Structure 1
Amino acid sequence: MGMTSALSTAIMGLNLSKAGLELVSRNVANAGTDGYTRKSLVQENLAAQGAGIGVRQVTVTREVDSFLRTQLQTELSIAGQSHVEAEFMQRLDLLYGQPGSSSSLDTRVNAFTNALQELASAPEVEVNRDAVLAQADQLANQINTLSQNIQQMRQDAESGIAQAVSDANEILQEISDLNTSIQAQWQSTSGSGDLEDRRDALIYRLSELIDVNVSEGERGAMRVFTSNGDLLVDAEASRLSFDEHGSIGPQSEFSNLESERGVGTIVLTSSNGGTVDIVKGRQQSFSGQIAGYLTMRDEILVEAQAQLDELAHGLALALSSKEVAGTAVTSGAQDGFDLDLSGLQSGNPVTITYTESGTAKQVTFIRVDDPATLPLDDAQTPNPNDTVVGIDFSGGNAAAAAAMSAALGAAITVTDEGGNVMRFLDDGAAATVDIDAVKAGITATTLADDGTQLPLFTDTGNRPYSAALDGLDQKVGFAARIQVNGDVMADTSWLVTYETIPVTGAGDSTRPLDLMQRLTEAMFEFSPDSGIGSTRAPYSGTIDAFARRVVSAQTGRAEVANQKFEAQSVVVGAIQERIDSKSAVDVDEEMAMLLELQTAYSSNARVITTIKEMMQMLLNM
């Protein structure tokens, strides 16, 4: 190697040392910058015709661990969902109150039953009657308010989805733009590491919104997919759209049928114009903030509304329903029961239990007045062991009896006996079926002369509540509408008076005692749609016990949601620490590198000085 080549090589080394010094200074300056990864200079030996002629800078790379990066994306999605759920569950817990606290729902139910107890001890005292109505009104108002707040939370979740979708679209476009810039600088001497850091930060933020998978494309580009495999970013960014609904109520629920959907859905439109609904029919697990909002809007808060509806439903029917048992009858060789269905309302049940070939069976007929409501499914009652059949009464009792008979099969006949009486008979001498009992649960619509029950709680406009199914299910959203019967509010004597001929005495405690026992002693099965109990083992208890279970369940779920979020935050933090240990700038290492570069720079400078001196010597000869 001649002096000219040596000089050229030394200058190359000097320039490389300068580039290294610039990179070290940039690393040190960004040691505390979030998302910045340590950059390293890649160099290579220059050779010509098999001989080394110097050194050159190839590019600048960054220190990253792809496996940890993928793990962080996954855990950030889970953390995003758990954060949303914990936040909403905390709000819900505050609405319900702590079990037994002065403002909790179960305390309000207890205050109402205590007022009934006071009335039963002194029914003639007007103050006691006023107290019962005041507590009933406060209870109804609290249930109304809770229902309104739950629907507002669902509306907030809807708005949260809209904002998250808007943020996701901005991020997707930025990732697409960065892909283009990265490809333009791919393997240039300056590298694309800083752009890749920015893109990683965007992917992490996107992961908080919706769980994604990424794969490397050509020249450093990244392709981004949903967890279901739908492409979000390739050469161009796809776009998400959300048809936010401005008014959400108890009847507003998600459905795969467009005509029945009452809330917004998310549609992904690809760069080629293809569309896919990423919410409809989703089977695969979904995480991220968007999934958290969807879970709250379509599951948790719908269930919370169902709990309130179930409580309101139980309060109304427990106080207003009367059970009518069948009267045993015989017709020739046939045995059975006559059942008086006077006053049977839409939504009221007629239950027959019988034994067929040694097997106990139960069928629950539910009255409907609109044939479009049919058929009904077995989930219409909480009882896991009965078969539910809707019976259309709009055509009269004879047609209804024929429908019941057809549903029960040839071994049992049902006939209209007139006067609202229906007769249920077994198959007589064939002896394949024995009818064990027939009964009906009838909602009272009058205040007296029909028993001690009282329709104290009614629907909007003082309409009787009977869990009617015609048109819209009366139970859905009933919590938002439950109110105290206006006729009782106008005349408190109905709390005591249950007979007008002769008139019930002012000091008669029969009705107050019965009403109190209906709430605190009578056992009811509650729908598993409320999240209390299960389909196979529905919760059975008193009305006041159910209220306590609802409040305690919400408190428990809020605690679990918060614990899940805290645990997930620890997981994210641990992975971030591992990433930092591999990718973050270590100032001590940079200082050591600085010394090496300083030495190299000094050495190259010394080589140049020496060559200069040697050349000067030649010139002086």
Structure 2
Amino acid sequence: MSLNALSTANAGLKATQAAIGIVSQNVANAGTAGYVKRTLTSVSAGIGNAGVATGAIARSFDAAALKQLRLETAGAAYTSTKADVVSQLDTLYGTPGSSTALDGLLNSFTGSLQNLASNPTLSTARTVVLNSASALAARIGSIAGNVQSLRSAAESRLGNETAAASNLLGSIADLNVKIGSTSDDASRADLLDQRDQKINELSGYFDVQTIEQQDGTMSVMTGSGITLVDRGRAAVLSFDGRGTLNASSSYSTDPAKRSVGTILAQMPGGSTIDLGEPGVLRSGTMAAELELRDTVLPQAQRQLDDLASGLARSLTDKSVTGTPNGAGTQIDLSGIQAGNAITIPVSGPDGSLRNVTLIASANPTAGVDPALTTDSAGLAQTFDISGGPSTYVAKIAQALTALSTRLTASGAASVPSLGATGTGASVTFTGNPGWTVKGASAAITVPTSASDLTTAYPQIPLFTDGSGNALVTGSLDNGAQITGLAQRLQINPALVSNSTALTATSASSTTPVSTRPQFVYDALTTAQQTFSAASGLGGISAPYRTSVVDFAQDLIAAQGAAAASAKSLDEGQSVALATAQSRFSSSAGVNIDEEMSRLIELQTAYTANARVLTAARDMLDTLLRI
């Protein structure tokens, strides 16, 4: 037996012993979170590959499975967060059909109106109407207040999640430095496990993608491609939270206009990136919180504001329709108030039909945010009525010119070109070459104030804006009146102190008759109202026409459907996450049975190498005794 055999057997013992150590480590860490199974592959050594040497310690896992795990982790965190809040939102409306739910209170109110119409002389019937209306207004305000509480809670969670994510980014960068400077395989494997665990945890906050560098360090980016960790450098995340939010709190890319917090990433180079901008974060809890705070819950608020506005304006507004007048349409705007809108359908050179909206204001003409009107194409402009009817024609013509100029400057492909003529409150709209006016209509508030209970007939200011007990006209003069109206909606105090107005015979007589309660009932249940596209009901970008009662029912149904859809999506995503976890675990997890089988193999190999050394020892002993 040559000395080479002794060397080979000795090397075999060392390699086998090292492999046994790896198996023992795997078994000991079988239940350790984030631990990835280790392997040790022996390599040939010596002359003619006659020997063996200990190879490098490697982590055994499927890289594609790890990538999928992070993707599904972000997705599950997103759907879970959204489903939870949307479910809470749905709960705010109450169990459909119950007496305390929104639809139940609305039904009680309309039912009390029917009873009053049948019994107009009963003072108790008037009291029931006012109490039912008050309960309905209070319920709408309570729901809207809770919607803002949900938004404030999302704002608070974003602050906590931003701090946690920033700490994780810093930890990943620190681990990159340690990994790059570590030559010991065992220590390096432990560091790699820790880094993977940190990245997996980070993926719960937002969607991440990674790129491994040649030196073993890892670059971490958002799904949209913003690099947050580059080797040993990491971005620092911060959140400038605004505390309690209200209905007017909103996100804007312009910091001067933004009234909610956003996630700012201070990059190593000194630049700052706004991660709260739509589309930057696409999944994870932070993306869900941003969507809930800035889109889902504001839309719920707008639906409630639209409902509040519909309740009030359906009882105070009259519809005025224009009449053909030569090549145009003439309409009488007598009594128009700030916030009342004129809708002018026009057809362009291509034959398409579009609506131009003009909104009365006490201020100079200005463009209107489409989200604040029933218009969704930016074709809305205010016109100044402060100078009285004698100035209407000139101010409307000025507004139409300003609208055309604004649309042209924005690069709009088709810009309506209209003109206005007439005298006093009688205005005729005409189309300039290529454009044809198809009609005109307006919703004009009849009462002149909340205390005007008899002059306006049968219209009645039953619901008013609690901010100064103002009529609900849709005014934009001091901010959009509709914003937050749900929280301010109230029963007109003047009507509470003079409930006989509910059954007044006419503007000049208070003899109780059923005319007014029947008008109020029909206005709520039958008359068609136009609700804005911003409510999200009836279409993505089109105004929605329906009765106030049907709008409320559609609102409740939409919230229920949204909650059911979010729950279903979350359940599906949970299955996808469980599948991804199982797939990764099968490649990276420790299987005790496999490890024990491997241990038996190594013990056999160890015994074989030991027998070679024993035989060599016996041979040497024999030789020495000769």
TM-score by shorter chain over 0.5 = yes
Query: Is the Cα–Cα contact under 8 Å of residues 465 and 488 in structure 2 kept in the other structure?
Result: yes
Asked if structure 2 preserves the Cα contact closer than 8 Å seen for 1:265 and 1:277, the reply is yes
Match of 2:426 among 422, 429, 439: 422
- The answer on whether the counterparts of 1:57 and 1:189 sit within 8 Å (CA) in structure 2 is no
Residue by residue over 1:333-379, the C-alpha shift from the partner in whole angstroms, topping out at 9 and shown as x without a partner, is 9997562513x2210123556899999886543101122x6123666
The one of 470, 477, 483 equivalent to 2:484 is: 477
Inter-CA distance 14–225: structure 2 relative to 1 (3 Å threshold):
same
Change (3 A) 1:44 1:337: closer
- Residue matched to 2:145: 148
Contact kept in structure 1, 2:355 and 2:375, CA below 8 Å = no
My pick for the range that moved more, 358-367 or 304-313, is: 358-367
The match for 2:313 among 306, 314, 317 is 317
The Cα of 1:465 is off from its aligned counterpart by 1.3
Shift of residue 437, structure 1, vs aligned partner: 5.8
Alignment match of 1:211 (pick from 207, 217, 221):
207
Q: Using the TM superposition, name which of 400-409 and 467-476 deviates more.
A: 400-409
Gaps of 5+ in 2: 402-416
Please list, as runs of the form range in 1=range in 2, the aligned pairs for 1:168-567 lying within 5 A after superposition.
168-186=165-183, 188-190=184-186, 192-234=188-230, 235-280=232-277, 282-283=278-279, 286-324=282-320, 337=330, 339=332, 341-342=334-335, 344-351=336-343, 363-371=356-364, 374-376=366-368, 381-382=373-374, 388-405=380-397, 413-417=420-424, 421-424=425-428, 439-444=442-447, 445=449, 446-460=452-466, 461-497=468-504, 499=506, 501=508, 503-506=509-512, 508-534=513-539, 537-567=542-572
SS in 2 for 1:209: coil
Give the whole-Å Cα distance in 2 for the aligned partners of 1:223 and 1:57.
Answer: 31
Query: Contact 1:326 / 1:340 at 8 angstroms: preserved in 2?
Result: no
Note closer, same or farther for the CA distance 1:433–1:260 as it changes in structure 2 (3 Å cut): closer
Deviation at 1:276, TM superposition (A): 1.3
Q: Which residue of 2 aligns with 1:31?
A: 30
SS class of match (2:54): strand
Secondary structure of residue in 1 paired with 2:203: helix
Change in Cα spacing, 1:58 to 1:184, as seen in structure 2 (3 Å) is farther
- 1:375 aligned partner, one-letter code: G
The 1-side partners of 2:63 and 2:487 are apart by 52
Q: Distance in 2 between matches of 1:353 and 1:168?
A: 51
Which segment is superposed worse, 516-525 or 526-535?
Answer: 526-535
Residues 374, 225 of structure 1: alpha-carbon distance in 2 compared, 3 angstrom cutoff: same
Q: Whole-Å Cα distance in 2 between the matches of residues 423 and 189 of structure 1?
A: 86
Output one character per residue of 1:35-80: Cα deviation in whole Å (capped at 9) or x when no partner: 3222111322222xx4457432232111111111111111211111
In structure 2, what is the equivalent of residue 13 of structure 1? Answer: 12
Alpha-carbon distance in 2 for matches of 1:83, 1:434: 50
**How many residue pairs were aligned?**
603
Distance 1:303 1:594 in 2: 62
Name the CA distance, whole Å, in 2 between partners of 1:335 and 1:183.
78
C-alpha distance in 2 between matches for 1:489 and 1:34: 66
CA distance in 2, matches of 1:9, 1:350: 97
The superposition leaves residues 472-523 of structure 1 with CA deviations (integer Å, 9 ceiling, x where unpaired) of: 100011111111111112222122126453x2212x0110000010000101
TM-score (norm 2): 0.89
C-alpha deviation, 1:254, in angstroms = 0.4
CA distance in 2, matches of 1:163, 1:362: 46
Whether contact under 8 Å (2:464, 2:489) holds in the other structure is yes
Counterpart residue identity of residue 561, structure 1: A
Give the distance between the partners of 1:6 and 1:562, measured in 2 at CA.
68
Q: Please state if 1:61 is matched with 2:53.
A: no
Once the two structures are TM-superposed, the CA of residue 224 in structure 1 deviates from its matched residue by: 0.6
Q: Give unpaired runs (5+ residues) of structure 1.
A: none
Alignment partner of 2:121: what SS? coil
AA in 1 matched with 2:453? L
Does the CA contact (< 8 Å) of 1:61 and 1:191 recur in 2?
Answer: no
RMSD: 2.9
**Does the residue aligned with 1:347 lie in a helix, a strand or coil?**
coil
Contact 1:447 1:498 in 2 (8 A): no
Report if aligned partners of 2:329, 2:430 keep a CA contact under 8 Å in 1. Answer: yes
SS at match of 1:185: coil
1:378·1:386 contact (CA, 8 Å) conserved in 2?
yes
Letter in structure 1 aligned against 2:29: N
Contact 1:368 1:390 in 2 (8 A): yes
> Residues 42 and 52 of structure 2 are in contact (CA less than 8 Å); yes or no, is this contact kept in structure 1?
yes
Q: Please tell me whether the aligned partners of residues 505 and 511 of structure 2 are also in contact (alpha carbons under 8 angstroms).
A: no
Equivalent position SS for 1:214:
strand
Q: 1:369-421 deviations in whole A, cap 9, x for unaligned?
A: 122x612366654367995432112344333321224566998643343xxx3
Shift of 1:279: 2.4
SS at match of 1:559: helix
Deviation of the 1:325 alpha carbon: 5.4
Percent identity for Structure 1 against Structure 2 = 36
| Contact 1:398–1:415 (Cα < 8 Å) also in 2 | no
TM-score (norm 1): 0.90
Is the CA contact 1:443–1:466 (under 8 Å) kept in the aligned structure 2?
no
Q: Per-residue deviation at 1:31? A: 2.3
Deviations 1:208-247 (A, max 9, x none): 1011110111332111111222221122221111111112
Cα distance, 1:277 vs. partner? Answer: 1.2
Name the CA distance, whole Å, in 2 between partners of 1:122 and 1:620: 131
Distance (whole Å) between structure 2 residues aligned to residue 288 and residue 385 of structure 1: 32
Deviation at 1:424, TM superposition (A): 3.1
Equivalent position amino acid for 2:110 in 1:
T
C-alpha contact (below 8 Å) 1:349/1:442 kept by paired residues: no
CA distance in 2, matches of 1:557, 1:435: 38
Superposition pairs of residues 557-596 of structure 1, within 5 angstroms: 557-596=562-601
Amino acid at match of 2:237: L
Per-residue deviation at 1:537? 4.2
Distance in 1 between the 2:20 and 2:371 partners? 73
What is the distance in 2 between the residues matched to 1:70 and 1:388? 48
Answer whether contact 1:383 1:525 (CA < 8 A) is retained.
Answer: no
Q: Residue by residue, what CA displacement relative to the aligned partner does 1:228-269 show, whole Å, maximum 9, x if unpaired?
A: 222211222211111111121110000111111011111111
| In structure 1, distance between residues paired with 2:14 and 2:543 | 79
Distance 1:65 1:327, change over 3 A: closer
Q: Secondary structure, in 3 states, of the residue corresponding to 2:39?
A: strand
Aligned-partner Cα distance in 2 for 1:225–1:381: 40
Superposed displacement of residue 302, structure 1: 0.7
Taking the aligned partners of 2:587 and 2:323, their CA distance within structure 1 comes to 82
Match of 2:136 in 1: 139
